[in-house]
Structure formats: structure tokens, C-alpha cells
Structure 1
Amino acid sequence: MIVGVGIDVCDVDRFAETIRRRPGLVRRLFTEAEAAKPIASQAARFAAKEALAKALGAPSGMSWVHAEVLTDADGRPSFKLIGTVAERAAALGVQVIHVSLSHDAGIASAVVVCES
């Protein structure tokens, strides 16, 4: 059963400018591995985290670094959840999270579907 669906888009140039103006955001938004990615990949991961928050009902108090976007050897993205985000997902009965990322023409996007 679908518990929640989220979608988000992020303008890569605008995201890059925000990071240039406020570099401390990187530590608040990303794990070390995510922070090492190119800016377009960071923007897509930010969109994925926003989409996940929407799919989980957008509660306050979740930490962005508690949802890490991983990519397997074939390029397929997935989430590793810990802490506040894992707790929220468990409270909703989420068993499986599907995520799709894209970035093209200066826009990064993500779709997330949470299933019980």
C-alpha cells in the first residue's frame, strides 16, 4: 500500500548560488559522501530529500543528514535512513522507498514513493 508520494524540483544554478552564499548549508543538508558530489548531483539529492519529506507528511524536526541518497553500481538511487527520518518512516509503517532522480537543462528533480 502506498503511504506517501513526494516530488520536488530544484534549479541547479539557484541551488549553487545559495551554497556559495551560505556554505554552512552543505553540512546541514548532506552527508560527507553526498557533499563530495558535483553540484547538479547535490541539487538532485536535495530534491530527493524534499520529496521524501513530502511523502512522509512533511513533519518538523527531521534532520536532512538522516536521509542519505546512495547510488548502486548500476546508478540506481536509494535512501539510507537513520535517526529522525527512520523514526518517522517507521511510525508510518514504511517498508520500501522508491526514488528516482534526474537533472537536465539546469533543473534537478526527484520523485519518491513510500510503501508499507
Structure 2
Amino acid sequence: MITGIGVDVVGLDRFAQKLEQTPRLRERLFATSEQGLPVHSLAARFAAKEALIKALGRSDGLVWTDIVVVSNEHGDPGFELRGGAAEVVAAHGVRRLHLSITHDAGVAVAFVVAEGGTDA
């Protein structure tokens, strides 16, 4: 059963500007494994984290660096949830997350579907 959906769009130029203006932003938003990625990949990961928050319906108890966007052996994106993020998602009854991300034409977009209940 779908328990939530979320989508987010990030302008690449604006996101790059924010990272440049606020040097510590990269550390606050991204896990160590994500920080060295190019700006378009960081923007897509930021959009994914925002889309997850929207799918959950709230951000209480979530720490940005506990939400890590990873790729499986086929290159498909997904989440690795750590610490409080894993606890919050479990507390919402979410048993499975689906993530789609893309970046093109100056924007990054992410879409998240959260599944829960007995059908997940």
C-alpha cells in the first residue's frame, strides 16, 4: 500500500551558487560518501532527500546526513537510511522506498514513493 509520495525540483545553477556561498552547507546536507560528487549529482541527491521528507509528510527527527542516496549494482538509485532517519521511516510504517532521480536542462528532479502496510 502506498503511504506517501514526494517530488522535488532543484535548479542546478541556484544550487551551485548556494554551495559556493555557504561552504559548510555541503557538510550539513550530505554524508561524507556524497560530498565529493559533482554539483548536478548533489542537487539530485538534495532533491531526493526533500522528496523523501514530502513522502513522509514531515521532517521531525530527520538529519540530512542520515539520509544517503546510493546506487545498486545496476545503477538504480535508492536510500541508505542511518540513525534517526531509519527510525523515523520505520515509525511511519514505511517498509519500502522507491526513488527516481534525473538531472537535465538545468534542473534536478526526484520522485519518491513510500510503501507500508501488509502489501509492501
TM-score (structure 2 length as normaliser): 0.93
1:96 counterpart letter in structure 2: R
More divergent stretch after superposition (28-37 vs 104-113) = 28-37
2:101 counterpart letter in structure 1: L
Could you tell me whether the CA contact under 8 Å between 2:61 and 2:88 is conserved in 1? Answer: no
Which sections of structure 2, spanning at least 5 residues, go unmatched? none
- Does residue 88 in structure 1 map to residue 56 in structure 2? no
Give structure 1 regions of 4+ aligned residues with deviation exceeding 4 angstroms: none
Where do residues 18-37 of structure 1 align in structure 2 (5 Å cutoff)?
18-37=18-37
The CA RMSD over aligned residues, in Å, is 0.9
CA distance in structure 2 between the partners assigned to 1:34 and 1:54 by the alignment: 21
CA distance in structure 2 between the partners assigned to 1:3 and 1:66 by the alignment: 21
CA distance in structure 1 between the partners assigned to 2:34 and 2:113 by the alignment: 21
Where do residues 41-80 of structure 1 align in structure 2 (5 Å cutoff)?
41-80=41-80
Which sections of structure 1, spanning at least 5 residues, go unmatched? none
CA distance in structure 2 between the partners assigned to 1:26 and 1:8 by the alignment: 18
Q: How many residues align?
A: 116
